[in-house]
Structure 1
């Protein structure tokens, strides 16, 4: 029987990921098997989780997934001693309109699983008010239980004492207090994101975070407050049709944003995934029956992609006979041209007419619900796909036939329709699940 906990906070940027990784590694140092999950659409954190635990992590998302799918994905922790579900944004932050089983809020997952929440509180610039915030979160929604808090970035012993007293008066357990310790902070970079594979010293960073947290947090108390959890049988598995039997998957520093559960579902359905690197000037495997270009950072490598003639000609030849699909950055590379942040225009593969620019950054962020006007690999016309979009590019031209009618989480129709031309298709959103 595993112990289940949700790690959340009042807001983003408070230290959820660092604490989750540190707790996971600290528990591993005690000889426990630890499974991590990520609530919400963030596709970066699961790779950090895997680095900390040695076990693959996946996203669970109440806006995009039904309860059966979430139950199926959570079952991967059935043989673990501890399961940590890291939240996104603030505990109750989601979209205004309910999705499949919730609004995408971390609180949905906590209530659904019956796991108590460990809150990370940053009391910088305040003292007793931190207790008021924690108490408000504790009492905001019936069905969501607060285990206690970990204070992060505490300025001094006196500061810690003031906050602890207020929390104790409010009846809220304090598991520990972390003094300011910048060395364990994970770096941020382009788009505010950094990938685990980009961190050569990630193991050392996590070990240092685990040592630091073990010195300042009562790990035994955290485990005592965790919920004893045995997975409930899921009515069905994750219902995914792979895009093909043999999938050529672009996979390198420019093409890395794909949800882990999608790749697992493809493999579980019997598909073979054949990675190739456009940055190494590799073409998709000729034996594949479909090519999939995930999102990533093509704008940081646009010059190299434009110069890699073998990749570009090989992809064009592949698309003459077999389907090619791109998500977000992959969609941009399927287009005609990409202008980078310095205003330099780079020719892309030209399989679609899309032209994008990063010269004037404009953030596109949020859940997407798309009804396909034409099929994409693995999904028929009329299918309703749920995904998430996050990029800073501007559409200069999108002349091809729209691939889908796309709505945001409020139901408003948006301009990022995706494109179709011949056997090539592309979307700005990253696919999470298909409505059953």
Structure 2
């Protein structure tokens, strides 16, 4: 490191440093102030497709906020699915669910700018990323109900989707932050493959995580390795203001997460995560930068707000006010409302079309959930498979013992719900 010598102490005082600006394209009135910032391929029709995906996860029913039930305005697919599945959990149809209301633009806008060959690792709130890359409602419902069509074979808790073979996204894991070094490793592998085959389509690795996960040691190790090895990876930080019940103000004293990238020698950009156009353009440019000159890491800090509870196990009214949430549900800050308003200004969307789309999406999700519940669970032998190429003697003995107990006490087990029943063990 070359650092100039100085005859006097020059302390770096964080309070005197300018705050990192937040990039946006749409202003608070949902008007694009500089049309040159929008790529030619981003037509109103294309954004309408993004919007419908955002809607799919939106809340259309009633969510439980503490002990009170509060009706929320319908938003769309990610948005609608979130609402339905939240209620499904309350009714006992699924055991757990996590919603992403307020972060729909972060997911869909960023995923739209990535290529199919890019390798993705996620945390647990990236429904929109899966959806934008080709996951279907049936795929979500199969995982949430743990039926035989779930690629994870029903072994993981709900919302832990697996889509590597279909959408090039690695399985979601509950362990916070572990996906960040995984992305760095994948990026290094992609870099090596590109050196071996110049004709191979260039690809980046992308890690999605929340600002809470940036407090994990995995975050720091991943950034340092990515910087020193020039890995083509995009670190996608969703700064939604809360790590479960801990607000960002209690998590760090520095200027957010983007400022940390600078310390590792990584380029960074802070983006308005409620502006789907800004998210798309920022991700597109981040990907270009990550691939140029042999590859390098980029960090995007996408500023949003978690309007919903952390999960169905959380009651956010215990640590924040309803008034605060209402501000972020307004048209000025809500990504669904902002995108809808922009589309209407372009003449490609109306309130009536919006109502019809919500109804159709809601019907599709409820139908797929109902159908998924009817599908048999995975075969019982799946409990023991995929650890070793062949069952070890110990595992085989355990399987035999389990089968013996199930046959002895059949009334205690729901073997008939699994494909093949007890014979599938």
> Relative contact order (alpha carbons < 8 A, sep ≥ 6): 1 or 2 greater?
2
Instruction: Decide: shared fold, TM above 0.5.
Output: no
Name the structure with the higher helix share.
2
TM-score, with structure 1 as normaliser: 0.29
Per the normalisation by structure 2, the TM-score is 0.29
